[in-house]
Structure 1
C-alpha cells in the first residue's frame, strides 16, 4: 500500500476529520484545503476546515463558507479539534505556522495527524508525512492523492477547481522552476475532469478594486527603490500609506512579482506594515539567487528558493536599511 492509499484508508476509517492550514492563507492553502474537503465528501466521509484567519476577499469566488476561522469562531474550532480522530496539516512544515491558538489545539490533539506539504525542513510532528519539496504546490500533492489512491474517477470540476487554483497561484501561473512535466500532466487531468481554467484566471486577475489599483500604482511610482548594483527591487509601505488607500487583505500580493518583472531585476522584496509588524515577501529569478536563506537568516522567515516570506518587528525604514546592509552578503554585483 503506497502513501496515497494509506491516507485514503485513514479518511475512510475516520469519523471526525479536521483540515488545517497556515496563517495568512493564499491560493494554495485555500485550494488544497477545499479540494481535499470535497474529495473527502465524495468518499462519503465528513470533514471541517479550520484556518487561523480569513482568506483575501479576492478568493471568495472559490467558496469559502465551509471554512471555520480561529480568529472569528474559536469555540467551534476548539470543539472540532477536541472531537477529531484525524487531522490534516496542509501546506505548512511546522506547528508554529498556524498561530499560537491553533498550535496549542493541534499539539494537544492525540489523534492521527497527516502532513501534506512541499516546504523545506519539515518538522516531525505527524503520524503520516507526505512531504515532497520538489512538488510545485500542496494542491498538486492533493491531486496526486486523489489519483494515486485509485479515485481518479471521482475527480470533477467541484473538486478540481480549487486544486487548479492552488497549482496556478503557487507556480506563479506556471512560471516558477518548481513546475515539472508532472504538473502539466495533472493540470490536463483536472481540465479533462471539467475544470474551466479560463474562468479561474478571470476570477483571479479581473477582480481588482479601484483602491487596490491606486495602492499598487502609488507603490510602483512613489515607493519603488532599485539597487542597481545588485539587481534588487524594494517596495515598502507603511500602515499610514496602506490606510490612505483603504488596504484590504491581498491588495499587495502581486507587488513583489510586479517589481521582479522590471528588466534586469533578479530579486524583489515587498514590505508592508500590518498587524503590528512589517510583513515581507521575497521573490527572485534563477537558482543562483535564492531568497529563502536571506529571509531565514535575518527576518524570521523562510520558504522556497525563489519565493519566501519573513517579518520584522522594527520600523519600515529600519527594516529597509537592514535589507540594504545585508544584500551584498547574498547577491553579487
Structure 2
C-alpha cells in the first residue's frame, strides 16, 4: 500500500506545475430574442494565456467594442452581440480547444433565470442553442460531477497530499478514517466558502496547501512511529483538509454556480471530487500491485526517502512560487 513512488513519478512526469486546474468559461446572458451578452474567461497559467477564442456565425453582429480585463490571474472579455435571425439556433465554437489543457464550461441563461450548463472540450468543441428551456437537474448534476472529478484528478497538489496520506496511514482501517476525515473537513469549508458564509483570500491558502504536503513529506522522511501524525493521521488529514476545501472553493468560484440550482451544483461538484479521490487511491493500489510483481525485492524502507523527497521538493517549489505573489 505504501509503495507509491513509481505511480507518483509517472504522475509528476506529465507536468510538475499542473496544479492550476481552473477551467475556461463562457457565460451567455440572453437579453431578448435577438441580443445577448458574452463573458469569456480564460485562466492565465504560469504567466501564459491559452490561445482560445469564442466564434459565432457570420450573421452575428458585435454591437460595441469588446472590453477586456485581467483580474485574479485570468483574462476576461465582455461583449454584446445581435443576431437578427434569433438567438435560438445560434452555434458557438471554441477555436483552439484542440490544443487546450482543460475543458470549457458553457452557461447560457435568460431573463427568466433559465439556464443551460454544459462542458465543451476536444470531443465537443461547439454547441447550438436550440432551446431556452433550462437543462434538467440530472444534466446539471452530471456536469458538475464531471468537473469535480476532473479537478481532483488534474489538481496535482491535492493528489500529492492524498498520496502522502495513503503512505502515513499504515493500515487500511487507518486509511479509511484518514480519507474520511479529509473528506468531511474539505466538504465543510467548500460549502462555507462557496456559499459566501466564510471566505478567506486564496493566495495564502494555496501556499499553506503546498506547506501541508511539505509537512507530510517531512513526517514520512523522519518515520517516527510514535509521532502524532503517524499515530493519528486523521488529525492531519482533517486539519489540512479544511484548507484544501478553500482551494476547491476557489476553483468552483471560477466555474460559477447556476442561480436556480446552486445547491445541486455545489453538492454534485463535491461528489465529483470524492469520486476522483477514490479513483486515485484505487490507482495507487493498482500501481502498488504492478510494482510488487515487477520488483519483488522492493521494500517500503527503500521507498520512504524517495517518496518523501519527490513530494517534498515539488511542494516546496509550489510554496515558494505562491509566497512570491504576496
TM-score tier by shorter-chain length is: under 0.3
Q: TM-score, normalised by structure 2?
A: 0.27
Higher normalized helix content (fraction of residues): 2
| Higher RCO structure (Cα 8 Å, ≥6 apart) | 2
Higher gyration radius (CA): 2
